[in-house]
Structure formats: structure tokens, C-alpha cells
A and B are shown apart, each in its own frame.
Chain A
Amino acid sequence: MTAPSPTFEFDGAAVPLQPGDTILQAAQRAGHEVPHLCWDARVSPSASCRLCTVLADGRPVAACVTPAQPGQRVQCHTPALAQQRLRLLQLLFVEGHHFCPGCERSGACRLQAAAARAGMTELHFEALDPDRRVDASHPDVWFEPGRCILCQLCVRASDELDSKRVFAIGGRGLGAHLLIDSPSGRLGDSALSVHDAAAHICPVGALLPKRVGFAQPIGRRPFDDAETRG
């Protein structure tokens, strides 16, 4: 005799709960899509991107860190939340240098895919145009800070999966940036290897393995839309 497993309501559908579930985990397991950039099942959550914000019993919370409660009423896809996600994506675009036409992550980039899905056609805000320098000192990996969205996936992957702690976030406010743990502060002097999980977990075109760009034909990249690629 097993008690029926507890559920909560996600956009009107009943979603079963397991002990310790966050809203995002339970919803994903039940096949519901929750928009996100900084969440990855392999590492602990950081709740920095805010794209997964949902209304839990009317209150805005980040679904990736908020425990799901039995009987809770969660709204994920509403016009107001869609508009808020669009603004968040536009903020990320103007904060960095996201010139997709020249980026080798185009078509395989979570930020770009989320923006297209959100219907983003323009930037809305003024470009911040930060002055950031590329770090190409590592033989196999390069870092383009202009594209970094501070999701901290590389920070967590290096810490939790590679046990190396190569990365951290430093600075405050708009000055926040990715720090590299090496005497020179450069990637080439750090313990990072191209085989590390951290070298491959970046959801955008900031931390990339060298010499493998533009290998996938347009139309066969992970987020390509079959409809228009022909």
C-alpha cells in the first residue's frame, strides 16, 4: 500500500514530486520545458540567469533553486513572464559582445536559442560595449570575455566535476567578470585541460576549445530550425 505520490500544479498540469525536488527538476522530469541558461543537471544550481523565474502561488521565484511543494500552483508560461524573459535576454545581449554572425557557437548557443524562442528581434537597450580582451594563452582552449554571461557553469564544473577550481567570479556590479586561477590570471598558466568538463560546459561562445569552430554545416547545428534551413 503506497500513498499516491504528491503533486503540484505546473501551468495547470499535475506534476509528481520526489523528495528534494526543485520546481525546475520536477517540471523537466515530467516533460515541461522551463527556460534556463545557468542550470545544468550535472552541477549545483547558481540561480544567476533568472530566466527560469516562475510564479509559485503568485510569487516570483527562480525555479532552479526553489523546492517544489505539494499542492503548489506554479505558472511558467504567461505573457508577463514571457515579456520579462525577453527583457532579461536583451540585457544579456547589450551587456556583452554578441555578434552572432561571427561567432563559432552560433546555432549551438543557449543564449541565442533562448532569444529566438522568446521572439527577440531587437535589443531594446543601448549597447554597453564593454572593453574586454580575449585570452588565447592556453594551447587548446580560448576565452572571449565579451560573450561571457556569468552563468558560472565553468566555475561549478571545474570545482564539482574536475576538482580543480580553475574559475571564480570576481569584481562587483557591472565590473563582475570571470577570474582564472593562475599566477598570471591567464588561461595558459592555469590547471585547465581541454579534457575537463569545464572546457565544454559553457552554454555560449565564451569558453571554447580551439581549432574546432564552424565544423557543423548550417542546418545541422544543435539549435537549428529545420523549417527554414532547407
Chain B
Amino acid sequence: MSPPPTSTPPTVGAAPRKWRVATVSLAGCFGCHMSLLDIDERLFELIERVEFDRSPLTDLKTLAPCDLGLVEGGLCNAENVEVLRRFRAQCRILVAVGACAITGGLPALRNHLDVGEVLRATYGERVPDDPELPLPLARVLPVHEVVRIDHALPGCPPPADAFWQLLQDLMAGRAPALHGGLIRYD
């Protein structure tokens, strides 16, 4: 299938405004962020065109309105849900990144165990109960079961070239067109 028609960004005068990009790891392993960093020296090209908002790579604690949000990890606790909803509210384009965000991933293998029994098996009689700690959900959920997502980048993790392709396509105003080899699930 041919990609949808390109909308050319305006190029008159000064350099185009930088894209604001936020990233987050919910019930993730940070591996998707590492794979994003695997674009290596292309990071220098990226930083010419984007400015990072809240992200594990910045010190920002709150989230401003963004062009793009990259979400790694599924939802395993109450704080994940709150953060995901905030990302949806603030990000014009929200992308589910990696197997965990898209399917729940390997953490969802706990879905057939009773979460109370899991905690007791791990902590014995001293299951942490401070209200500062977010309560786990009964099931690990993929992000699309809680908020609408615009695109997904599969893989565990997605290849660096897939991140690059996604960023290039989105910033050019195109729907991401991942060709065969960049779509993988493992």
C-alpha cells in the first residue's frame, strides 16, 4: 500500500519550531528507551529538531502540552494509569511503544495469578502498605485498553531504525509506514 499523501511543513523564514516530545516508562523495563538511544549519532540530528519535555532523560517533573508522547510499558499500578491519562491529555500524538504497551507484554503473564498471593509470596507477612505506594492493578493492561492511542511501534524492544522511521514520518506529517523488516514482536 502506498503511504498517504505528504503534507509538507512550512519552510519559509526561520527554522521550523522544534517538536516537543515527552517519553515515559510505565510498567516497562526501560529497554525501549535504550533502543531509542540506539539511534546513536542520529540523536544529534534529532535534538536539532525536537525538545524533550518530561522524560526519564530530563529532569522535568510535570508535563506541558506536547506534540508527541512515547509510552513504554503496560499498566500495572494506579500511578501508571494516572500518568498515562495525563500523557493522553497533553500529547497531540500518543504512541504505544514496545510489546508491553501494546499487549501488556511479559509482565501480563501475572494476570492469571492472584495479585495478593503474588505479593504475599514475594514479601511474606510484610507486604508494603504505605499509602505513598501505588496499589497494583489486578491485571496488567495494554495502554490502548485505557486511553486512545494514535500509533504503535511493536517490538521487545522496537529496533532503533523503527524509532527513527517513526520519528521521521511523524515530523514530516505522515502516518508511520513501517516496512516489513521494521515490524517485529520479539
Q: Which residue of A lies closest to B155 (CB)?
A: A101
State the Cβ distance, B108 to closest chain A Cβ, in Å.
7
B1 touches A99 (CB 8 A): no
Question: Counting CB contacts under 8 A, is B125 at the interface?
Answer: no
State the Cβ distance, A158 to closest chain B Cβ, in Å.
28
Q: Which of B4-12, B33-41, B129-137, B143-151 contacts A (4 or more CB under 8 A)?
A: B143-151
State the Cβ distance, B32 to closest chain A Cβ, in Å.
12
State the Cβ distance, A170 to closest chain B Cβ, in Å.
21
Residues of B within 8 A of A121 (CB): 102, 151-154, 178, 183
B109 touches A99 (CB 8 A): yes
Q: How large is the interface on B (under 10, 10 to 19, 20 to 34, 35 or more residues)?
A: 20 to 34
Check A79/B142 contact, CB under 8 A, given A122-B152, A127-B103: no
Q: Report which of B102, B105, B159 forms a contact with A228, defined as CB distance below 8 A.
A: B159
A116 touches B183 (CB 8 A): yes
B-contact 0/1 string along A111-144, CB 8 Å cutoff: 0100111011111101101010000000000000
Check A100/B185 contact, CB under 8 A, given A121-B151, A127-B142: yes
Question: Counting CB contacts under 8 A, is A102 at the interface?
Answer: yes
Q: Report which of B96, B103, B152 forms a contact with A99, defined as CB distance below 8 A.
A: B103
Question: Counting CB contacts under 8 A, is A168 at the interface?
Answer: no
Check A225/B181 contact, CB under 8 A, given A100-B186, A101-B186, A122-B154: yes
Residues of B within 8 A of A179 (CB): none
B146-181: which have CB < 8 Å to A? 149, 151-154, 156, 159, 161, 178, 180-181
State the Cβ distance, A102 to closest chain B Cβ, in Å.
5
The binding surface of chain B is classed by DSSP as mixed
Question: Counting CB contacts under 8 A, is B20 at the interface?
Answer: no
State the Cβ distance, B49 to closest chain A Cβ, in Å.
23
A106 touches B185 (CB 8 A): yes
State the Cβ distance, A19 to closest chain B Cβ, in Å.
37
Q: Count of chain A residues with Cβ under 8 Å from any Cβ of B?
A: 31
Interface centre among A79, A101, A106 (most CB of B within 10 A): A101
Bound together, the chains give a CA A63 to CA B109 distance in angstroms of: 36
B182 touches A228 (CB 8 A): yes
A58-113: which have CB < 8 Å to B? 79, 82, 93, 97-103, 106-107, 112
A-contact 0/1 string along B100-115, CB 8 Å cutoff: 0011111011011000
State the Cβ distance, B128 to closest chain A Cβ, in Å.
26
Residues of A within 8 A of B91 (CB): none
Question: Counting CB contacts under 8 A, is B99 at the interface?
Answer: yes
B186 touches A107 (CB 8 A): yes
A-contact 0/1 string along B52-79, CB 8 Å cutoff: 0000000000000000000000000000
Bound together, the chains give a CA A207 to CA B35 distance in angstroms of: 32
Bound together, the chains give a CA A71 to CA B144 distance in angstroms of: 46
State the Cβ distance, A146 to closest chain B Cβ, in Å.
9
Bound together, the chains give a CA A124 to CA B154 distance in angstroms of: 13
Q: Which residue of A lies closest to B149 (CB)?
A: A122
A116 touches B104 (CB 8 A): no
State the Cβ distance, B12 to closest chain A Cβ, in Å.
34
Bound together, the chains give a CA A124 to CA B178 distance in angstroms of: 17
Q: Report which of B111, B161, B182, B183 forms a contact with A129, defined as CB distance below 8 A.
A: B111
Residues of A within 8 A of B159 (CB): 228
Q: Which residue of B lies closest to A101 (CB)?
A: B156
Residues of A within 8 A of B180 (CB): 116-117, 225, 227
7 residue pairs A–B, Cβ–Cβ below 8 Å:
A100-B186, A101-B186, A121-B102, A121-B154, A122-B96, A122-B154, A227-B180
Given contact pairs A101-B105, A107-B186, A127-B103, enumerate 5 new A-B contacts (beta carbons under 8 Å). A115-B185, A120-B154, A122-B96, A225-B181, A228-B182
Which residues of A are in contact with B by a Cβ distance under 8 Å? 79, 82, 93, 97-103, 106-107, 112, 115-117, 119-124, 126-127, 129, 131, 225-229
